A and B are shown apart, each in its own frame.
Chain A
Amino acid sequence: MTALTLFEKIWRVHEVVPETADAPAVLYVDLHLIHEVTTPQAFAVLRERALPVRRPERTLGTLDHSTPTDAREIFGGVPIRIESAALQVAALETNAVEYGIELLGLRDERRGIVHVIGPELGVTQPGMTIVCGDSHTSTHGAFGTFAFGIGTTEVGHVLATQCLMQRKPKTMAVEFSGHLAPGVGAKDLVIALIGHIGVGGGTGHVIEYRGEAIRALSMEERMTVCNMSIEAGAKAGIIAPDEKTFEYLQDRPRAPKAEAWERALDAWRRLPTDAGAIFDQSVAFDVSGVEPMVTYGTNPGMSAPIGGRIPERGDESFGQALRYMGFEPGDALAGKRIDRVFLGSCTNSRLSDLRAAAEIVRGRQVARGVRMLVVPGSQQVKLEAEGEGLHQIFLEAGAEWRESGCSMCIGMNGDTAEAGYYVVSTSNRNFEGRQGRGARTLLASPATAAAAAVTGRLTDPRELMP
């Protein structure tokens, strides 16, 4: 039998019609996650053509992108401040009812960022194909799924047919060797990797993250790595399921139960890449030397260790990026003054992220003139964090503790920074204006973000770790 990669095994069993020279494959979608921003125009197409949703039970909706994180707007009866956002929320509520789709609504305690709630509820399961009108759908690859972002037209295709037309992507193995140093996390690892392979380095490929350093990561850390696959341009990121995966999923509300669980385990254990399977490309990456990383430019590939300096020169776009950031070539990163800190997003808003930040914030104050927003990834994460008293640590330090949502990662709900301000952000994109027109984003881990919050400067978090 041919040795197959994890991705190829998933692809093969989801081909409804195999691809030919003339036409892409028709690929079946097991789980379609939807949210308020990239779906209204898709439902409009269904309406125009009088089409039903083919598999409402394979579709799950949440509100996260343009949804407020201010408790008063969610629970306090205060109308959603941005009128157009309120209309999007209302549109998904109406569409969900009309088409029989489950929506975790505004006040549902299971609501949250689409890529946080999938795993949390156990709807994300190894071997699945998962799509969503959001590029960070790659997050779910941490569970050994083929998960990727799609546009609104394709959202319509999946709603109507539960299928997509797809050319089979190429495969890339990233073989991690070595062990992460203490105080260095998954976010540092993935930022360092993107710096190494480039923001277009994964284009057209499904990246399988492999090696001891990956096996050593928790499921939440693996999600952080897979989440940023798209920042290297990859179609998807994927990690072989193992005992950690199964342990995470067992007893989740939507995970298989009893005999179905045993059957699922049997199937999931057969998913990992066979010995001798061939990848189209392979990249070796030693993680031993990775340090806490921070970005200095306007794409996630422009990064350096926090103790390092901005390079002296780059490509044609380097100058434009540095002008936007207000930095000079050769500048030291540590010590740079910052104005805002955002702890949240589908990259880093899970319980372990909040714990890592709280460990540094505990007993300290957010620096004068700095504003820190803590936005849990889901209402469940928020509840669990409150159960541990993490919210008290942030609130006592002077940070804001908000309801869940995408918030300042995309700045659609009014959570933005002012022009010229430096934002240390645990999110995934430092594009110009991403966090508000003229705002300057420095991507970093939760620990590094917390260290910046309490010192008011870019600071190596290891200096503040207990």
Chain B
Amino acid sequence: MNAVHRIRSRTVVLPVHDIDTDQIIPARFLTTTARAGFGRHLFADWRFDAAGRPRPEFALNRTEAAGCTVLVAGRNFGCGSSREHAPWALLDYGIQAVVSPSFADIFRTNALKNGLLPVVIEGPAHAWLMANPGAEIEIDVDLTTLALPDGRRVPFPIESFARYCLLHGVDELGYLLSQERSIETFEVRRAQ
């Protein structure tokens, strides 16, 4: 996992609540044993028509969306299936952060494990972002703030260990493996 400190980008907005992981990456693309290449199927059924042509009206297909790395969406983003292919698809497409008033638990966990930043922003700041696609914003993981174009910094919550992992580009597996002695002790104690 690469370290993430700051993300500066214009936003692309999907003004929809409860965007489920079946929309982010439809199940028919999951019959693979690889973890790369999901980006071309991101939001497949919203991005493309049945003949595979891009739908020009879809936010990600608009010319101004090119190069945007921050996605703003409605509440309960990533609900549904536990498929980690959803954050893999977003990252592979080039999205580095998703801004929403709330995230589904499993999606949030999966996103953080891959260096995709789930940014919880509620209230007027979120409403403003939803209404202003293309806004130039900066997300700072050190400060845990999202800076709006007027310079106002909106704080967002992030679990402390996940933040540490993001800032240092480390994954949890190393930490878990370092707990070997505690795990061993636990197993011995329970076996008694």
Binding site for B on A (CB under 8 A): 16-17, 21-24, 26, 28, 37-38, 40-41, 44-45, 49, 51, 54, 66, 82, 84-85, 87-88, 91, 133-135, 148-154, 156-157, 160-165, 167, 169, 199-200, 203-204, 230, 233, 235, 299, 301, 315-317, 320, 410-412, 419, 429, 431-434, 437-438
Could you show 12 A-B contacts with beta carbons less than 8 Å apart? Answer: A37-B31, A40-B34, A85-B31, A148-B106, A150-B109, A151-B83, A162-B183, A200-B75, A233-B79, A316-B17, A433-B23, A438-B50
* Residues of B that sit less than 8 Å from A by CB: 15-18, 20, 22-23, 26-28, 30-35, 45, 50, 74-76, 79-84, 87, 102, 104-106, 109-110, 113-114, 159-161, 164, 171-173, 175-177, 179-180, 182-183, 186-187, 190
| Contact in complex: B31, A66 (CB < 8 Å) | yes
Whether B176 lies near A163 (C-beta < 8 A) is yes
Could you tell me the distance between the alpha carbons of A233 and B83 in the complex, rounded to whole angstroms? Answer: 15
Q: Known contacts A38-B83, A199-B76, A431-B22; decide if A151 and B109 are in contact (CB<8 Å).
A: yes
Given contacts A316-B15, A433-B26, A434-B22, contact A26 B179 (CB under 8 A): yes
Which residues of chain A come closer than 8 Å to B32, judged between CB atoms? 40, 84, 87-88
**A302 (CB) vs chain B CBs: closest residue:** B18
Q: Are B27 and A410 in contact (CB under 8 A)?
A: yes
Distance in angstroms from A84 CB to nearest chain B CB is: 4
Contact A411/B161 with A204-B105, A429-B22 known, Cβ cut-off 8 Å: no
Contacts of A157 in B (CB 8 A): 172-173, 176
How distant is the Cα of A87 from the Cα of B32 in the complex, in angstroms? 8
Interchain CA distance A152-B87 in the complex, whole Å: 11
Of the candidates A21, A160, A315, A432, the one whose C-beta lies within 8 Å of that of B176 is A160
Least CB distance, A82 to chain B, in whole angstroms? 6
Task: Using CB atoms, name the residue of chain A closest to B185.
Answer: A16
Contact at A91–B33, with CB atoms within 8 Å? yes
CB closest residue in chain A, given B35: A41
Residues of B within 8 A of A410 (CB): 27, 81
**Contact partners of A87 in chain B: CB under 8 A:** 31-33
A431:B80 contact, CB within 8 angstroms? yes
Q: In the docked arrangement, what's the CA distance between A163 and B58, Å? A: 41
Task: Tell me whether A40 and B33 are in contact in the complex, defined as CB-CB below 8 angstroms, given that A153-B113, A431-B20, A437-B26 are known contacts.
Answer: yes
Q: Which of chain B's residues have a CB closer than 8 A to the CB of A41?
A: 33-35, 84
The complex places the Cα of A167 from the Cα of B50 at a distance, in Å, of 42
- B31:A433 contact, CB within 8 angstroms: no
User: In the bound complex, how far is the Cα of B37 from the Cα of A461, in angstroms?
Assistant: 46
A133 to chain B: which residues have CB within 8 Å? 82
A432 to B25, CA, bound (A): 11
B17 touches A315 (CB 8 A): yes
What's the minimum C-beta distance from A52 to chain B, rounded to whole angstroms?
Answer: 12
Q: State the Cβ distance, A412 to closest chain B Cβ, in Å.
A: 5
Minimum distance in angstroms from B130 CB to a CB of chain A:
9
Q: In the assembled complex, how far is the CB of residue B159 from the closest CB belonging to chain A, in whole angstroms?
A: 6
B30 touches A412 (CB 8 A): yes
The complex places the Cα of A316 from the Cα of B15 at a distance, in Å, of 8
9 smallest beta-carbon distances between A and B, as pairs:
A40-B33, A151-B84, A151-B110, A84-B31, A200-B76, A149-B82, A135-B82, A153-B113, A152-B84
Contacts of A134 in B (CB 8 A): 81-82
Smallest beta-carbon distance B19→chain A, Å: 9
Q: Among B23, B74, B87, point to the contact of A431 (Cβ < 8 A).
A: B23
Say how far B34's CB is from chain A's closest CB, in angstroms: 7
**Within 8 Å CB of A135, what residues of B?**
80-82, 106
Q: Provide the residues of chain B in CB contact with A148, threshold 8 Å.
A: 106
| Chain B: minimal CB distance from A221 (Å) | 23
> Which interface residue of B27, B45, B110, B164 has the most chain A CB atoms within 10 A?
B27
Known: A434-B22, A437-B26. 13 other contacts (CB 8 A): A16-B182, A26-B176, A38-B82, A84-B31, A88-B32, A151-B109, A154-B109, A230-B80, A315-B17, A316-B16, A410-B27, A411-B27, A412-B31
Interchain CB contact under 8 A, A24 and B31 = no
Shortest Cβ distance from B174 into A: residue: A49
Bound-state CA distance A311–B80 (Å) is 24
Is A320 touching B16 in the complex (CB atoms < 8 A)?
yes
In the assembled complex, which residues on chain B have CB atoms less than 8 Å from the CB atom of A17?
179, 182
| B33 / chain A contacts, CB cutoff of 8 Å | 40-41, 44, 87-88, 91
> Contact: A165 with B79, CB < 8 Å?
no
Contact of B106 among A54, A149, A162, A164 (CB under 8 A): A149
Asked if B179 and A153 make an inter-chain contact with CB atoms under 8 angstroms apart, the answer reads no
Tell me how far the C-beta of A294 lies from the nearest C-beta in chain B, rounded to whole angstroms.
19
Closest CB in chain A relative to B43 CB, distance in Å: 11
Smallest CB separation, B83 vs chain A (Å): 7
Q: Which of A22, A299, A433 contacts B160 (CB 8 A)?
A: A22
A156 to B113 Cα, complex, angstroms: 12
Q: How far is B140's CA from A238's CA once the two chains are assembled, in angstroms?
A: 38
Q: Given the interface contacts A135-B82, A200-B102, A411-B28, does A433 sit within 8 Å of B22 by beta carbon? A: yes
Q: Which residue of chain B has its CB nearest to the CB of A414?
A: B28
**Is there an interface contact between A433 and B45, defined as CB atoms closer than 8 Å?**
yes
- Residues of B near A82 (CB, < 8 A) are 31
B84 touches A167 (CB 8 A): no
Which of A22, A152, A162, A235 has the most chain B CB within a 10 Å cutoff?
Answer: A152
Chain A residue at minimal CB-CB distance from B83 = A38
Contacts of B15 in A (CB 8 A): 316
A28 to B106, Cβ gap below 8 A?
Answer: no
